[in-house]
């Protein structure tokens, strides 16, 4: 088991690495050349800048039971299909039971933006969100995979 991080604009990279080290799990940060990050305690895979290039590079490396940290519903859906266990930066686990609704809301938001509408951006990140992410990531790390 390993932890793969969709590292382009991920706010919980440091928390992920710290948690992974406690469980002795390797971490792979996947990013494109415009978001390149190097962090002690993690391997970094930098891919060419391009539409979804980092996403596809990450998904192609998922094995059954791997943990995937992403805020991208499309990446989460592909991770689930490969037997991965995706979680977002707030600690929400993506599941077969919630992914369809999340993808539908993403589609609806894209339609609004294409027609000239505007949507609110995310709220400012709080320490409580980081704590919830760490709690849920620890649970995932401690779970046995089938």
Predicted pLDDT at 26: 98
Predicted pLDDT at 36: 73
DSSP code, position 93: B
Mean pLDDT of 105-114: 71
By the 10 Å C-beta count (0-12 exposed, 13-18 middle, 19+ buried), 58 is classed as buried
Predicted pLDDT at 44: 95
Q: Of the candidates 81, 121, 114, which has an alpha carbon nearest to the alpha carbon of residue 100?
A: 81
CB 47 within 8 A of CB 100: no
Tokens 């604009």: give the residue: 9
- What is the tens place of the pLDDT at every residue in 10-28? 999 999 999 999 999 999 9
Say what percent of the chain tops pLDDT 70. Answer: 93
Confidence of residue 133 (pLDDT cuts 50, 70, 90): very high
Record the tokens describing residue 67, joined without a space: 């943990």
Predicted pLDDT at 35: 77
Mean pLDDT of 49-57: 88
DSSP code, position 99: H
Q: Which domains does the chain have, with CATH numbers?
A: 3-142 (3.40.50)
Predicted pLDDT at 145: 59
With a cut of 60, say whether residue 9 has pLDDT above it. yes
Phi, psi of 29 (to 5 degrees): -95, 125
With a cut of 90, say whether residue 132 has pLDDT above it. yes
Q: Of the candidates 102, 59, 101, which has an alpha carbon nearest to the alpha carbon of residue 81?
A: 59
């Amino acid at each position: 088991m390993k932890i793969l991080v969709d590292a382009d604009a991920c706010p919980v990279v440091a928390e992920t690495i710290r948690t992974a080290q406690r469980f002795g799990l390797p971490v792979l940060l996947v990013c494109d050349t415009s978001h390149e990050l190097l962090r002690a305690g993690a391997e970094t895979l930098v891919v060419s800048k391009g539409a979804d290039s980092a996403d596809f590079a990450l998904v192609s490396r998922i094995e059954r039971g791997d943990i995937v940290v992403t805020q991208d519903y499309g990446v989460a859906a592909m991770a689930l299909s490969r037997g991965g266990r995706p979680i977002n930066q707030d600690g929400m686990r993506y599941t077969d039971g919630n992914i369809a609704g999340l993808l539908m809301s993403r589609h609806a938001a894209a339609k609004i933006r294409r027609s000239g509408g505007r949507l609110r951006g995310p709220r400012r990140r709080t320490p409580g969100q980081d704590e919830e992410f760490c709690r849920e990531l620890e649970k995932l790390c401690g779970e046995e995979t089938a």
